[in-house]
Chain A
């Protein structure tokens, strides 16, 4: 029986810590680079994310989500916190690198996360503007104000699209056997 890697981390298994860094380092770094205002900020964020991950590892529940999604959740939480603290715009890629609605959902980038694949499929069912706003917020770390400027929509419309889209994706994920996110799970923060 193999125990989840994060549980081994929580139990203080140093090899598991090393494995965890090997496995999720690229994911954490990629997210940090997108959310942060520069390399130094991204490096600080990575440190904070892993510290949070070590502290939160015991809370990982494989019945609720995949490890990858759990790690991404922790990473996003720290990055969002950091952004609010620094109040700085992330070093966003140019819009030439921003995925168009047509590209979104074409393929899951992180193949071993069940939820990621399901989320890609769920995104494909959303209206294009909802999809774009959600991706700009979650993957590129843009604030609602930045998104409003980017997509030329009023702030209220951006928020409404984002909220509806997020709830719809959750609904679609919750309707599957492998992607259930029970609403009763304890808040990990």
Chain B
């Protein structure tokens, strides 16, 4: 085997499984002086993992707090960032004041000096075209049409489930061939089509159809809170557990400015920890649909399967929504009876 091929093999193994010390040394010694190990293979391995990863659990709160505390304990005691400053010990962070569950700053080191949180390389802010469509920050995210549901933030890491079971190599290969064939056919249909103009039913039409067809559909009226956005509003939520399909109807709910805040649905499932309700998606209410006489129907896009819904709640969150709501602004709720 040539030296180059050996290096490539080791680099691949390193990206996939890591190397033992002997292999690490072999790889390091095989590289020309000054040449770093190419991280593109590790990034490729990460991208493959992401492409198949099902994010079906949120990070437990105590681990989130521990991770935050670790960052804070190694942060520089200096004013940085537009969102606030890292406080000195004994001076609470203004943005964290009163925040439930906020982690107190760790004590200073014995000498009074705080451990340094030193960036490994100087920062060079380089806004590029990649900041646009690829950005997963709330900024730059295209706003949604009123009534349209999008996956909420947290990077839009949408939980999905793989329902199919292992079927063995032969069956799997057959399925793959079928899937590829189906995909090719569907592509052809789409690309070569254009003669059939199928009109997508509106959310209201879908809701009505679901109510007519789904025997298990439940209808619950919204109870507005005292929040200014919801006061005086009404409507209902319709949900079919069997179909995992649902629609929200709002009347006289206030319009939101999608650049400042968005509505977000949460579904509390009796079979899940109530700290982590199912994210039902973010949505907007346009000016034309708001206020007296206004009505909007919004489809529910639950990120994971809902087994036993017990409460639907709509909160008001930052644009793009949140992974874990602080529940500071709750607009409406609908409790499932029984």
User: Which residues of A are interface residues toward B (Cβ below 8 A)?
Assistant: 1-5, 7-18, 21-31, 33, 43, 46-47, 50-51, 54-59, 61-70, 72-73, 75-77, 80-81, 83-84, 95-120, 123-124, 128, 132, 134-135, 137-139, 143-144, 151, 159, 162-163, 166-167, 169-170, 173-174, 178-179, 181-189
Contacts and interface: CB of A to CB of B under 8 A. Distances in A.
Contacts of B38: 183-185, 187
B76 A12 contact: yes
A113 to B, nearest CB: 5
4 tightest A-B contacts by CB?
Answer: A13-B81, A25-B59, A15-B83, A102-B175
B53 A188 contact: no
Interface string B124-143: 01111011001111011000
- Pick the most buried of A8, A102, A118: most chain B CB atoms within 10 A of its CB: A102
B74 A54 contact: yes
A65 B67 contact: no
A16 B81 contact: yes
25 contacts: A1-B131, A8-B83, A13-B86, A14-B72, A21-B68, A24-B155, A26-B59, A29-B57, A47-B63, A58-B119, A64-B43, A73-B42, A102-B178, A108-B51, A113-B50, A139-B53, A144-B16, A163-B8, A166-B41, A166-B44, A167-B12, A169-B47, A173-B47, A185-B39, A187-B36
A48 B56 CA distance: 21
B124 to A, nearest CB: 9
Contacts of B135: 2, 4, 62
B214 interface: no
Given A84-B18, A137-B17, A97 B162 contact: yes
B37 interface: yes
B48 A169 contact: yes
A165 B109 CA distance: 49
A96 B45 CA distance: 23
Contacts of B162: 97, 99, 103
A2 B131 contact: yes
Contact of A166 (B12, B74, B95): B12
Contacts of B83: 8, 13-16
B323 interface: yes
Contacts of A186: 36, 39
B264 interface: no
B12 A113 contact: no
B105 to A, nearest CB: 10
Contacts of A67: 136, 155
Contacts of B196: none
A51 B71 CA distance: 7
B84 A13 contact: yes
B80 A13 contact: yes
B22 interface: no
Contact of B156 (A58, A112, A185): A112
A26 B48 contact: no
Contacts of A110: 50-51, 53, 55, 155, 157-158
Contact of A81 (B18, B37, B120, B156): B18
A10 to B, nearest CB: 4
B39 A23 contact: no
B289 interface: no
A139 B56 CA distance: 14
Contacts of B20: 84
B70 A54 contact: yes
A33 B57 contact: yes
A108 B53 CA distance: 8
A73 B39 contact: yes
Contacts of A99: 52, 162, 164
A23 B153 contact: yes
A63 B157 CA distance: 21
Contacts of A73: 39, 42-43, 45-46
A3 B127 contact: yes
B240 interface: no
A102 B172 contact: yes
A46 B140 CA distance: 29
- Pick the most buried of A23, A97, A183: most chain B CB atoms within 10 A of its CB: A23
B46 A178 contact: no
Contact of B70 (A8, A12, A50, A167): A50
B287 interface: no
- Pick the most buried of B45, B123, B153, B167: most chain A CB atoms within 10 A of its CB: B45
